[in-house]
Amino acid sequence: MGTLIKGASLLGRQPADVYVEDGVIREIGSVTSSAETTVDADGLVLLPGLVDLHTHLREPGREDAETVLTGSQAGAAGGYTALLAMANTDPVTDTAEAAERVFDLGRATGLVDVVPVGAVTKGLAGAELAELGLMHRSRARVNVFSDDGRCVGDARVMRRALEYVKAFGGVISQHSQDPALAGPAACCHEGPLSGELGLPGWPGVAEEVIVARDVMLARHTGSRVHVAHVSTAGSIEVIRWAKAQAARDGHWDVTAEVTPHHLLLTTDLLAGYDPVYKVNPPLRPAEDVEALRLALADGTIDAVATDHAPHARHDKEHAFVDAAFGMLGLETALSVVATVMVEQGLLDWAGVARVMSSAPATIAGLEGHGRPLAVGEPANLVLLDPTASYVVDRDASYSLSRNNPWHERKLSGQVKGTFLRGKQTFGA
């Protein structure tokens, strides 16, 4: 006896009944099985469960900001069924043992599949490669490696990492930011406004030179690089060129993600010195935001990833220059994408499923996620109301942190239910 999801519009297309039993989609269309639970999904859209390539869960080390459990609750509320947990915890996820610990904490929640991202270098120090092969062969099956929060700045180290992961089909997710061009004090986009505000900025080119370097290294090594949180039009030009080369060559690849905040928020929000808008890479001018939306629509950018970065109040509520970088994103990502991409006619719901579920699952090599809505597939699903709009309240959140840049903003498209292998993890 399973669950009947009644009358949902699959990928925003034809309404159908979906019958789920033992974690698998058993029937679609006119369902003949009798269900234990019926979910009335009239007027709702059904998508495959979302996959986030870029989440900071803060456990171990900063359980005051987020834990694997609270981050997983926030993820389920946002429609996610899998989260890739970044390695910049304390201790860093740079060994098989550390990766298995995060993986097991995720399994224990039963809310989302938590997949650890392994560090590229020991202690994120940028010098010596971490246990990449051992992490991959561990129970946690690590496929994605990143020193996120820091750039792998040394080209020789990046080259060796790309060569290493090639052997098992892994990918290096790079936080593209030349440390020499983005000084240690930099805290916002370098432009006329940073000058007016007297804030040290870093230029878009600090990102673009690393993207350019890394695609050449990926081509040279025949490996895969993933550009985390792309934020400038210049990076998009490089990625567009590189994708064309990779498609022609066939033996290497480049993929890219964009965050919800870089799709909507612009650098002029910094005029009030509110540290909630302090993020790395920084919010950019409107021209970059427009270019990111178009690149996501045309496939130059493969995926939306949240860069959900919870911070305790005492780390975030400071003078702008001293505050921590980062903002929350898991619970609002789908609504931001609905607001800026679907409402604007840039993506339909099948396109949203591509950029928030199937493409990220493919990039991360995740089995059982990002699959088509079809009989025999795992029932990892999200139901959303495409016509609902709501005002975000930062206090109505599963996250332990409150650094929410969407507070008091009106967004469209609301998650109504999330299912992990048929089990409802969010919604009534």
How many binding residues for Zn ion (CB under 5 A)? Answer: 2
Report the nearest approach of Zn ion to the CB of residue 271 (Å).
24
Tell me the C-alpha distance between 52 and 49, whole Å: 10
CB-facing half-sphere around the CA of 236: CA atoms within 13 A: 21
Contact between 175 and Zn ion (CB under 5 A)?
yes
Task: Single out the segment in contact with Zn ion by CB under 5 A; choices: 77-85, 114-122, 143-151, 153-161.
Answer: 143-151
Contact between 214 and Zn ion (CB under 5 A)?
no
Closest CB to Zn ion: residue number: 175
Please say which residue, 148 or 302, places its beta carbon nearer to Zn ion.
148
Please say which residue, 113 or 148, places its beta carbon nearer to Zn ion.
148
- Residue 18's identity, in one-letter code, is V
Please say which residue, 16 or 86, places its beta carbon nearer to Zn ion.
86
Report the nearest approach of Zn ion to the CB of residue 396 (Å).
27
C-alpha distances in Å from residue 403, one per residue of 7, 36, 252: 37, 40, 38
Strands 50-55 and 80-85: parallel
Q: Of 113, 148, 307, 385, which residue is the catalytic one?
A: 307
SS3 98: helix
SS3 68: helix
Please say which residue, 82 or 227, places its beta carbon nearer to Zn ion.
227
Contact between 56 and Zn ion (CB under 5 A)?
no
336's tokens = 């931001």
Please say which residue, 161 or 379, places its beta carbon nearer to Zn ion.
161
Binding Zn ion by CB under 5 A: which of 17, 131, 148, 288? 148
Strand-pair partners of 229: none
Report the nearest approach of Zn ion to the CB of residue 148 (Å).
4
The dihedrals phi and psi of 163, each to the nearest 5 degrees, come to -65, -40
Can 298 be counted among the known catalytic residues? no
Report the nearest approach of Zn ion to the CB of residue 173 (Å).
9
Report the nearest approach of Zn ion to the CB of residue 150 (Å).
8
Q: How far apart are the first and last CA of the chain?
A: 19
Give, for 390, the enclosing helix (H) or strand (E): strand 381-391
SS3 365: coil
Peptide bond into 281 cis (omega under 30): yes
Task: Single out the segment in contact with Zn ion by CB under 5 A; choices: 56-64, 76-84, 167-175, 326-334.
Answer: 167-175
Q: Which are the catalytic amino acids?
A: 307
Site residues (vs Zn ion, CB under 5 A): 148, 175
